[in-house]
Amino acid sequence: MWLPNIVYERIPQFWFLLGLLFITTGLYLGYESDATFYYLGLGVVSCTYGVGIFMMRWGYRQSQRQSDQPTANVDQPTANVDQPTANVE
């Protein structure tokens, strides 16, 4: 299923905001209501899910940046900087 880029990029924020709304609703109802614990539980799960999606995407993008960086060519000889060279005159 293809999603527009603006929707795809906002999914973690949507889940986190939904979780905050559930938590706020649960706190608003108070502990006298039976549904409070369900709202709080759904809120924590939604916030955790949103942060999890964000962290997975962030980790994947970091790994893609590291793999896109050019690496040193192993076949070419390199100068050894640690050893001094003799002055030839």
Burial class (CB in 10 A: 0-12, 13-18, 19+), 44: middle
Instruction: Kindly state the helix (H) or strand (E) to which residue 7 belongs, with its residue range.
Output: helix 5-29
- Output the tens digit of pLDDT for each of the chain's 89 residues: 888 989 998 999 999 999 999 999 999 999 898 899 999 999 999 999 999 999 999 999 899 888 877 665 555 555 555 665 666 65
Q: Which two tokens stand for residue 86?
A: 């003799």
- Where do the domains of the chain lie? 9-66
